[in-house]
Structure 1
Amino acid sequence: MRRPTDRAGKFALSTALPESLEVSSLAIATTGLSIATGRRGETAANARSDAAHRSDSGIRMMSTGKKVDPKDPIWRAASVNDIDAVTRLAEIIHPTLPERPDVFAEKLALFASGCYVLVRHEEVIGYGLSHPWNLNSIPPLDSFLKGIPGDADCLYVHDVAVLPEVRGYGSAERYVDLMVECACKIDVDFLGLVSVYSTQRLWARYGFEVANGSELDMKLRSYGPTAKYMIRNLKSP
């Protein structure tokens, strides 16, 4: 892994919240997975502009090179207009892990290139949220980030959620491919996430391994009894 000093300041321009976003508490949440397309040295403003441009047409391939059936759901860049839909989906899919709309909105404001929604027939049926973070650090559930660390060494997958009735189209696999691509573009060697609802076998299929430790166990309590912190080392064969 590279020294933190190699990355110092890389995310400095995206660590402060825009003045237009008002938040009422401190911290963030974590439950799954996401992607980003920020390039090294890219500012938050550039990332938001890039995400907005890509959201116009939807993302079927995202440059992963894999063909997707036109009838399959597609990932597209999220916008502020999707926050209500994301909140409704979260209430359905994660009823025991509630999060406020402002928590989702803050992630979009801080790292728009990591926020996507899954769409079929123009209906939002899933979402994915992620952002750069520090390895082995788990943000508290339903709390605000307040910024992105300047020495981030991990792409942290906050959540990936898809309605049960539209699963089975390979959306998770495409999402993982996108996360790997994203991590390479922002120059980090690890992906991290919190597996909930006993889904660690699913994430293990995509190269994630459970990380253990008493401090991690304490931070996982708010995520439920089956929650596991998992890491994927992108340098591993």
Structure 2
Amino acid sequence: MTSRKIRLMHSDDFTAILTLQADCYPQAFIETAKTLQQKQQLSPYSSWVITLNEQVSGYLFCHPWLGDKPPALNTQLSHLPEMADRFYIHDLAISPNARGNKLAEQLIQHAIEWAISANFSQVMLVAVLGADRFWQKHHFQPLSTRLPAAYGEDAVCMLRQLQAPL
């Protein structure tokens, strides 16, 4: 039987996270360990890993954000906005060896539930490398936001409205 668990990310996960990032993205999209660690430290309760049989098999970096302009890729943030108006999904990666196990869907659902409980009314992200079709299946809609060139020519800023639990 396969065991899986979503838990908060911690510092000793970063070796696995950097390996996953390298396995999932071309070099132009690789962020430094320092950049990713800073994002996790700025919002320690909204970045998770998912394990499959006790191995880190995916990660999701998220944080509060303000406005339609997403943070630049591979840029360290000195702070998060005090008056955030949305929850921002910065990066999602699943090990190629673990794909097909619905790990991405579980991480996304976990993040959405967390965002609702934290009283966010919307979630934003930048879909890269043609991932906008994947995110549309999760109720994200394209925005007309102009994106920095570092995100790639086919990058799409996307937004999902959230509903509070009944």
For residue 202 of structure 1, what is the aligned residue in structure 2? 134
Q: Which has the higher contact order (CA 8 A, sep 6+)?
A: 1
After TM superposition, the structure 1 stretch with the greater mean CA deviation from structure 2, 149-158 or 167-176, is 167-176
Task: Give 1:72 shift.
Answer: 4.8
Which residues in structure 2 correspond to 1:56-135 (within 5 Å)? 71-95=2-26, 96-135=28-67
Is 1:225 paired with 2:153?
yes
For residue 179 of structure 1, what is the aligned residue in structure 2? 111
Over the matched positions of the two proteins, sequence identity in percent amounts to: 28
Gaps of 5+ in 1: 1-69
For residue 23 of structure 1, what is the aligned residue in structure 2? none
Q: Distance in 2 between matches of 1:73 and 1:145?
A: 31
Task: Please give the secondary structure, in 2, of the residue aligned with 1:188.
Answer: coil
Task: Give 1:126 shift.
Answer: 1.3
More strand by share: 2
TM-score by length of 2: 0.91
For residue 162 of structure 2, what is the aligned residue in structure 1? 234
Q: CA RMSD in A?
A: 1.6
Task: Give 1:204 shift.
Answer: 0.6
Task: Please give the secondary structure, in 2, of the residue aligned with 1:112.
Answer: coil
Task: Please give the secondary structure, in 2, of the residue aligned with 1:194.
Answer: strand
Query: Cα deviation per residue 1:27-71 (whole Å; 9 max; x = unaligned)?
Result: xxxxxxxxxxxxxxxxxxxxxxxxxxxxxxxxxxxxxxxxxxx51
Gaps of 5+ in 2: none
Partner AA of 1:87 in structure 2 = L
Q: CA, structure 1 residues 220+228, in 2 after alignment: closer, same or farther (shift >3 Å)? A: farther
Task: Give 1:105 shift.
Answer: 0.8
Task: Give 1:176 shift.
Answer: 2.3
Partner AA of 2:54 in structure 1 = E
Task: Please give the secondary structure, in 1, of the residue aligned with 2:29.
Answer: coil
Task: Give 1:183 shift.
Answer: 1.5
Contact preservation (8 Å) 1:195, 1:230: yes
Q: Distance in 1 between matches of 2:75 and 2:107?
A: 24
Task: Give 1:164 shift.
Answer: 1.8
Q: Which has the larger radius of gyration?
A: 1
- Structure 1 consecutive aligned stretches of length 4 or more whose deviation exceeds 4 Å: none
Partner AA of 1:229 in structure 2 = C
Contact preservation (8 Å) 1:72, 1:169: no
Contact preservation (8 Å) 2:87, 2:122: yes
For residue 29 of structure 1, what is the aligned residue in structure 2? none
Contact preservation (8 Å) 1:135, 1:190: no
Contact preservation (8 Å) 2:124, 2:159: yes
Partner AA of 2:30 in structure 1 = P
